[in-house]
Structure 1
Amino acid sequence: MSVRTVGQAARTAFDPAVYLVTDTTQCGGPAGVVATVRAAVAGGATAVQLRDPDASTRELAELGAALLAVLRPAGVPLVVNDRIDVALAIGADGAHVGQGDLDPVTARRLLGPEAHLGLSVSTTREAAAAAALPPGTLDLLGVGPVRTTTSKANARPAIGVDGLAAITAAARAAGAPPCVAIGGLRAGDLPALRAAGAVGAAVISAVCGTPDPRAAAAALAAAWQAR
């Protein structure tokens, strides 16, 4: 599912079906992130989010620029987690913010109307609050964690597939943006996530640090298409 056209005129629609979120440690360093992303896109990853809360501004910008060099020719969009300044500096396709990050209205004002902007939510109340934001503020909700995850420090408690279904239903009823599932996901989870109303699956450890990121992404892509 393509959520919306993002960024500059030639950029590709944002398809969150297999949405890779990077982890520099799990990938073995910045060069490993670039190699993992290249392989994952070859295997079927449809969007990439650059996430490295421990990187300096310069390090994050350099890594983002290296990823854009891989992703632009492939027509796959790149968003930056939290750091609106870095997203703007490198010309990324957008950003993703959490509940404690820069508020979405301000983030949208800084990014402009065409950039992709996602927001993390974990409850039906947060989904309803997202729906109440001015039209055009958000493009996507990241819902989770569905499973217990060790990829993110201080992650909220797992909501399970039933929790995901409740939030996606509430978001849809309130007119909120589409929902992508995140948190401890594996290929075997994806058909149930799709049935629960998610428009995609955001993954970290299912690809980062695996022996064959291309094969891991291909398995996710195949699972997403399974009925």
Structure 2
Amino acid sequence: MLPSPPLLLITDRSQAKGELLAVAGAALAGGVRWISVREKDLPDEEQAALAAGIRVLAAPFDALVTLHGSADLAAHAAVDGVHLPAGADAAAARARLGKAALVGQSIHSVEEATAADPAVLDYVVAGPAFETASKPGYGPALEEAGLARLVSACRVPLLALGGIDASTLPRCKAAGVAGGAVMGGVMRAADPEAEMRGLVEAWGV
């Protein structure tokens, strides 16, 4: 089950305006209830340590902390779940982490959306929803029509990623997505708390 609001903050310390834990803490104060550590260039132990620091910040908010990477690393880091790359073995990740873990995966096509198995996946992430400063030129933007096609093919909740802000998030919601995933917009924000609060308000109830 996705947290409420169904907004995922993905970390990227290379884009963060300030120290990453400070950005995460501000976003939590702004209303995010789910953060995924995506720092794949770091050694496993450093990723686990970073996740532990974010877990401490997240605890008072009952927020979830997951990790972009492998199920083994997520288990080692003692986080709430894992986000897998497209093509990874989701069934193996579920078996490794158990029923209570949050297991998600990136998808890039209607075929991958159709193949997403609700017996093993809690959600998928598709993008870029719109043009994004984080990954300029990374595939054509899906826009509302593309998101709607993926949603209609998918048996698990779908989150939109890429170009997500307070103006585009309602468009994602209108296309039928279950939530949004944001990275650079919050990481680069001068005021991450206010930026996240704006996203929460834009999503609504």
Q: Secondary structure at the match of 2:82?
A: strand
2:20 alignment counterpart: 33
Letter in 1 for 2:33: T
Letter in 2 for 1:15: S
1:46 alignment counterpart: 33
Letter in 2 for 1:96: H
Shift of 1:37: 0.9
**Residue-by-residue CA offset, 1:61-106 (whole Å, 9 max, x unaligned):** 1101100111112100011001322211121000011114x31111
- The 5 A counterparts of 1:58-77 are 58-77=45-64
Tell me, which stretches of 5 or more residues in structure 1 are unaligned?
A: 5-13
Shift of 1:152: 4.9
From the superposition, tell whether residues 216 and 81 of structure 1 become closer, same or farther in structure 2 (CA, over 3 Å). same
> Which of the numbers 118, 141, 145 marks the counterpart of 2:128?
145
> Which of the numbers 194, 198, 205 marks the counterpart of 2:173?
194
Tell me, which stretches of 5 or more residues in structure 2 are unaligned?
A: none
Letter in 1 for 2:186: V
Structure 1 position 114 matched with structure 2 position 93: no
Letter in 1 for 2:115: A
Q: Secondary structure at the match of 1:27?
A: coil
Aligned positions, number: 205
**In 2, distance between residues paired with 1:218 and 1:123?**
31
Q: Secondary structure at the match of 1:24?
A: coil
2:196 alignment counterpart: 217
> Which of the numbers 103, 108, 112 marks the counterpart of 1:126?
112
TM-score by length of 2: 0.92
> Cα RMSD (Å) of the superposition?
1.9
Letter in 2 for 1:166: R
**In 2, distance between residues paired with 1:147 and 1:103?**
28
Letter in 1 for 2:59: R
Q: Percent identity?
A: 35
